[in-house]
Structure formats: structure tokens, C-alpha cells
């Protein structure tokens, strides 16, 4: 079975994307990843209020990971490789509808809403998030980009995240994959994640250690807008 990953590509801000211009039909080759990988850990943050916006995100009707089948099959290979090392995957986000991306853009332009600043962007102003971290279009909307980390079993048999030197969705230079200084342990974990993803076709995004995109992109010119459900 052939497997591979894709890097999230964030485009410069040039204005909101009309939902009518996004493809609202779910393709037949999009897969619910939990059906083929029932043992990976799911923490789909945008279906909850536990995210940088502070509310559930538009378009996430279920806490599911949907991926285009080539990327999903590649993820199976990643999982298999890690399982041989006693490790597992924890997934934060997969396919992201365009309406969710538009929700992010509305949030970032509301400079009065800084409820989550201390947790998610303590060293940046909101306007500094546009472009590198938040944009009007996202590779996630193509169905072949994924946000995830590594987990290992603790002494109680529970999956725990490995130390990556910083949390998911922290908008800060600390999240850059090659950030320095970084503890030797955290740097090693980031490199392990990057290496195993690359081995199965996923490219990393150097500003976010958790972000990977399958290459080549199966729908390079399309941003889908069907809900996650």
C-alpha cells in the first residue's frame, strides 16, 4: 500500500474567499481516518472550544479526521513505522473546510478579542499572525494536510504526548521546527516526527513543527468547503 504526507501551505492574505467559490461537494476519495486507523489518538481541537479562537469552529460538526485516500494511506504507513518503535500518533486536525478558514480570518481581524493571547500568541500581536500562521486559504482544505504529534504509553498505559518543546497551535517562533535554543530531547522528538513523515511522503512546514502535507497534493487547485461530519 502506498502512503505519504503533505505540508500545510499558508498563502498570503489577500481578502476573504467566497464560500460560493469553494467546492462544497465531498469527493468520493475522502476517508474517515478513524475507520482505517482506529488505534490512533484523536484530539480534534476545532470541533471544541479548546483552540486559539476559544469557540468551536464553523464547519466542524464532528470531531473527525477526514483525509484524501492517498494521504490517508500514507498515514497508515507512518503509523505502522511508529508502532514498531512503541509509538503512536495524536491527530489535532486534518481536512479543514473553507468556512473554518474564513472563521479564523474573522477572528484574527477582530483585534478586540484577545481572550486566548496568553496561551496561543503571547509574544505576537494579532496582525502578526496573518500570513505565516493564519491566511485566507489553507492546504488543509485540500484534504491532504494534517496536524499531529507523537505519543508514547506511560506507566499507567495511557498515551502521553512526547516533549516537542512547545504545544500545538502556539503561534510563536518557538514552534518553528528548527527553533534554537531547544532542549536536546525536544529537538530529537521533532526530528523523529519530521523524519518519519518525510519517509512516507509528507513535507513539513518549517514554522509549525506539527504541520505536514502529502506530496504531491491530490487537489492542488481546489479548496473544499463541505463540513466535517
CA-CA-CA-CA dihedral for 15, 217, 76, 206, to nearest 10 = -60
C-alpha cell at 85: 518503535
Whether 208 is a known active-site residue: answer yes
Place of cell 497534493: 217
Question: Which candidate, 141, 151, 169, places its Cα nearest to that of 67?
Answer: 141
**Can you state the angle between helices 184-199 and 69-83, rounded to 10 degrees?**
130
- Catalytically annotated residue among 136, 158, 208, 229: 208
**Cα–Cα distance, 211 to 163 (Å, whole number):** 16
Helix, coil or strand: residue 147 = strand
Catalytic site positions: 208
Amino acid at each position: 500500500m502506498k502512503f505519504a504526507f503533505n505540508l500545510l501551505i499558508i498563502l498570503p492574505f489577500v481578502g476573504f474567499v467566497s464560500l460560493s467559490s469553494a467546492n462544497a461537494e465531498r469527493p468520493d476519495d475522502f476517508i474517515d481516518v478513524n475507520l482505517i486507523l482506529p488505534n490512533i489518538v484523536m484530539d480534534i481541537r476545532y470541533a471544541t472550544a479548546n483552540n486559539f479562537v476559544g469557540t468551536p469552529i464553523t464547519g466542524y460538526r464532528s470531531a473527525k479526521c477526514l483525509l484524501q485516500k492517498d494521504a490517508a494511506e500514507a498515514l497508515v504507513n507512518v503509523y505502522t513505522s511508529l508502532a514498531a518503535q512503541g509509538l503512536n500518533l495524536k491527530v489535532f486536525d486534518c481536512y479543514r473546510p473553507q468556512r473554518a478558514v474564513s472563521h479564523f480570518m474573522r477572528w484574527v481581524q477582530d483585534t478586540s478579542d484577545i481572550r486566548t493571547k496568553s496561551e496561543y500568541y503571547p509574544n505576537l500581536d494579532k496582525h502578526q499572525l496573518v500570513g505565516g500562521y493564519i491566511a485566507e486559504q489553507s492546504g488543509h482544505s485540500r484534504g491532504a494536510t494534517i496536524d499531529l504529534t507523537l505519543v508514547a504509553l506511560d506507566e499507567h498505559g495511557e498515551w502521553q504526548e512526547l516533549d516537542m518543546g512547545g504545544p500545538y497551535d502556539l503561534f510563536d517562533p518557538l514552534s518553528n521546527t528548527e527553533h534554537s535554543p531547544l532542549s536536546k530531547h525536544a529537538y530529537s522528538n521533532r526530528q523523529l516526527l519530521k523524519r518519519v513523515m518525510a519517509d512516507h511522503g509528507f513535507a513539513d512546514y518549517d514554522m509549525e513543527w506539527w504541520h505536514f502535507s502529502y506530496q504531491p497534493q491530490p487537489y492542488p487547485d481546489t479548496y473544499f468547503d463541505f463540513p466535517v461530519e
